[in-house]
Structure 1
Amino acid sequence: MTLDEFNDADAALLKSMLLACAAVRSWGDAIIAARPFRGLDELLAFADETARRWGAEQVDEALMQHPRIGESREHNDAAAEYSRREQPVFTDGDEQLKRALREGNRFYEAKFGRIFLIRAAGRSGEEILACLRQRLHNSVEQEQRETANQLREIALLRLRQGVL
């Protein structure tokens, strides 16, 4: 959709689109309320600034909609389609890598009580596994910040893809 279409779109349509970018209702509501935007840069800057205020509650809300890295969602909605496009490296190939990611996911979830989230787009499976292993050394507080940052990157990437 163009920026003009975004600015003029029905709020319910935009809410659905923004929830596919990041399932944080307050973030989508803030963006919808801030319209109209004069340019894509203004929209992305506002979305970024708003996402930087996400706390644990917003991150947990959004994580409920994300599949584990290396897995796909059973749903057939916009968020699931984004995830499939962002994680093509896992659709076929190295079984050893897939096993290592599953094992890393289990360790991560046991330590932090949530799924491992990373902006997978543009990263190889090996890079993702290395990040997962490195982040296992983070404190709970460090990982909360890193997860929020990764979620913000994913949301902005998806928003950038959805508005031209």
Structure 2
Amino acid sequence: MTSPTPAGIARLNTADDGTAADLLHEVCTSTAWARAVLAKRPFAGLDELCEASDAAMRELTPEDLGEAMAGHPPIGRPKPGDPTSAREQRGMAGASDELKAELLELNLAYQDRFGHVFLICATGLTGEQMRDAATARIGNTPEQEREIVRTELGKINRIRLTRLAEGE
């Protein structure tokens, strides 16, 4: 006997294209990613949905990645009133003013070097771990960094798709 489709996935499967695209936009702001994921509907479960997301992420152009990154606030500055942003950056909640200032400086230097925000799957990381990652990654080439960002976005998407599947 097969297990029932999670409520959030059933909603995604049965929604009209516009509503389904809006649901996916909450996960990732890349239009190309959402189109590719929508094309794989219906999903039997979370594994299938995450596989579709991973496949779509691998196909994103640098421009598509830029569109996806534009939906993410800088580390240490979650979007006001956005519970997803606040939840994902929880590791910065208790950070000292010194650490916050250090991350702001790193964010600005990273943005100057690469032309976009420093993106990391912050869920479960401390402020210090995020700072250390930013420090380590700022020396990467743009090509290396683009692939790291692709991987980090994939991790974020999987976490957000899990929440979507659970109906949150």
Q: For 1:136 and 1:45, locate their aligned partners in 2 and report how far apart those are by CA, in whole Å.
A: 30
For residue 39 of structure 1, what is the amino acid of its counterpart?
A: G
Q: Post-superposition, which runs of at least 4 consecutive aligned residues in structure 1 deviate over 4 A?
A: none
Question: Which digits, 9 at most, give the CA deviation of each residue in 1:16-69, with x for residues without a partner?
Answer: 111111101111122222211122211111111111122211111112221111
- Counterpart of 1:104 in structure 2: which amino acid? L
Partner of 1:162: 164
Give the partner amino acid of 2:98.
Q
Decide whether the 8 Å contact of 2:9 with 2:164 is kept in 1. no
| Corresponding letter in the other structure for 2:62 | A
Looking at structure 2, the residues matched to 120 and 146 of structure 1 have their Cα atoms a distance apart, in angstroms, of 14
Q: Over residues 106-150 of structure 1, what are the superposed CA-to-partner deviations in whole Å (9 max), with x where a residue is unaligned? A: 111121111100000011111111000000111111011111211
Of 64, 71, 82, the residue aligned with 1:65 is: 71
How far, CA to CA, are the matches of 2:128 and 2:51 in structure 1? 31
Q: Conserved in 1, the CA contact under 8 Å of 2:75 and 2:119?
A: yes
Query: What amino acid maps onto 2:66 in structure 1?
Result: D
Corresponding residue of 2:110: 108
Please tell me whether residue 84 in structure 1 is matched to residue 90 in structure 2. no
Aligned AA (1:101): L
Query: SS of the residue aligned with 2:144?
Result: helix
Amino acid at match of 2:133: C
Query: Does 2:36 match 1:30?
Result: yes
Q: Which runs of 5+ in 2 are unaligned?
A: 1-6
Question: Is 1:9 aligned to 2:15, yes or no?
Answer: yes
TM-score using structure 2 length: 0.88
User: Please, what is the CA RMSD of the aligned residues?
Assistant: 1.5
